[in-house]
Structure 1
Amino acid sequence: MTNSKERLQKVIAQSGVTSRRKAEKLITEGKVKVNKKIVTELGTKVSPQDDLEVNGVLLEKEEPVYYMLYKPRGVISSIHDDKGRKVVTDYLGEVDERIYPIGRLDYDTSGILLLTNDGDFANLLMHPSYGIDKVYVAKIKGIPDKRELNKLRKGVREGDDLLKIVNYNILEVNRQKNTMIVEMTLHEGKNRHIRRMMDVLGYPVSKLKREKYGLLTLNHMQPGDSRALTPHEVKKMRLLASD
């Protein structure tokens, strides 16, 4: 899931209405409404889609923004980390809006990661039934044959999950180093999806990169680079998810 929800007092403070401490006081005094209902619990979390009122004044909603990041390896797919590690928003420079990642990439996985403050767009892209292609390139230890790789199309069981791919394409086989590079296409991506699948088959992944997300690619980007999506790209991604 996305990190789309944040504490109510933080959202109020970020809007510039008042400080976080005063926002907490306003909440406990019953002067804050979420979707026209008074909220007094400080632990309440809200999303960008919620309507917020403070002292009877409706907070203005942010304009939707959409970014693509070439996430480097060794970066957390989150907006903050309690251990002080690098997070994806560290690579986006000055962004005033409260953006969050659409889904996630593992700490050791690089490639395309989308970020937005548009919850509807995020949910549309993440819903498995819409089947947007996500193309990964994996370097694996060992050289499975096609019979073994074909198992990935049918799915392999790991824990409570059935993990499968839509298709694969062998890019390189290095018999001296006993490695293979294979491109895999997913529609639904569970936690550590590809790594877990290949572990079940006995061919662990040493490197993994998401190279394509729908129509978006990493062309002319380096790890750590980011850019705003064009209106055309946003529209096309919506259409892909709606097909």
Structure 2
Amino acid sequence: MRLDKFVAHATHLPRSEVRKRLKSGAVTVNDTKEKQAARQLTFEDIVRLHGEILHLPEPRYFMLHKPQGLVCSNHDGEHPTVLDCLNEPNKEALQIAGRLDIDTTGLVLLTDDGQWNHQITSPAHHKTKTYRLRTAEALTPDLPARFAAGIQLKDESRPCRPAQLTLLDDYTARLIISEGKYHQVKRMLAACGNRVTELHREAIGELQLDTSLNAGQYRHLTSTEVKQLSSSNE
């Protein structure tokens, strides 16, 4: 890791301020003043700022009950973002593991552990996502079999992977998919001549949205939940 990035992560200082500290000689590596921001550090290097040893903070993992009207982005000029729900230091460093549309509610995961995020979101891992949906038109009995066979989306060369659709009533269903195509759930129903009017993500993998969280609330993941998501083989 670059020295300036390490100091920024360890102190939550902006990168511009870190460069000033480096230039002033306030940063040492193995007790030697270091002014080169691009210096690559090893695990054995000891970095100090004004004589105090710096350590990278422990990775953070959160689940959020996303309400409607928020975008899954770190910055947006028009809409509030999911980060606005969090009261955490340096929250801009968090990554969103599995984005939802502005009008979709439910489980969103946030972390500053890039490797863990990759395990959750990489298409190669086929992590399942469970949604509860409501449609404009009545759901027909043939739909579960059609979803299990693979829905062909418009402008896609291959059909979707087999998905599990469970009809709950005439207009409501639960859907489990193992992909993350753009607007996939809405496009799947559109391919069947219907339209999604409400969409809520209940789970990612085996991790269920905590039912005690109201829309807009969040909590830390437990260590068991973190390991469960990274180790489960979907």
Give the structure-2-normalised TM-score. 0.76
Q: Given residue 179 of structure 2, which amino acid in structure 1 is its aligned partner?
A: E
Partner of 2:226: 234
* Higher normalized strand content (fraction of residues): 1
Residues 146-176 of structure 1 show CA distances to partners (whole Å, capped at 9, x for unaligned) of 3244222222122136334520110111xxx
1:32 aligns with 2:26: no
Equivalent residues in 2 for 1:1-243, closer than 5 Å: 16=11, 20-21=15-16, 31-33=36-38, 35=40, 60-83=55-78, 85-96=79-90, 98-153=93-148, 154-160=150-156, 162-173=159-170, 180-218=171-209, 219-241=211-233
Whole-Å separation in 2 of the counterparts to 1:92 and 1:116: 12
Aligned to 1:4: none
* Secondary structure of the corresponding residue to residue 63 of structure 2: strand
**Identical-pair percentage:** 28
For structure 1, the 5+ residue unaligned runs are 1-7, 37-50, 174-179
Structure whose CA Rg is larger = 2
TM-score (norm 1): 0.74
1:70, 1:237 → 2: CA distance?
Answer: 17
Q: Is 1:71–1:112's contact at 8 Å kept on the other side of the alignment?
A: yes
Q: Which amino acid aligns with 1:220?
A: S
Distance between the aligned counterparts of 2:198 and 2:224, measured in 1?
Answer: 32
Q: Note the C-alpha offset of 1:93.
A: 1.0
The count of corresponding residues between Structure 1 and Structure 2 is: 211
Q: Following TM superposition, by how much is the alpha carbon of 1:184 offset from its aligned partner in structure 2, in angstroms?
A: 0.2
1:66-105 CA distance string (max 9 Å, x none): 000000011010122122x211111111234521210201
> Structure 1 residues 31 and 197, CA, compared in 2 at 3 Å: closer, same or farther?
same
Amino acid aligned to 1:140:
T
Asked if the contact 1:76/1:106 (under 8 Å) is kept, the reply is yes
> Closer, same or farther in 2 for the Cα pair 1:230/1:16, shift >3 Å?
closer
Q: Report SS of the residue matched to 2:80.
A: coil
DSSP-derived class of the 1:32 partner: coil
Confirm or deny: 8 A CA contact 1:101 1:115 kept in the other structure: yes
Q: C-alpha displacement at 1:128, in angstroms?
A: 2.5
**Separation in 2 of the partners of 1:134 and 1:34?**
41
Residue 201 of structure 1: how far off its partner (Å): 1.6
The alpha carbon displacement at 1:190 in A equals 1.4
Q: Which AA in structure 1 matches 2:56?
A: K
Residues 35 and 104 of structure 1: CA distance in aligned 2, closer, same or farther (over 3 Å)? farther
CA contact (8 A) 1:65 1:118 kept: yes
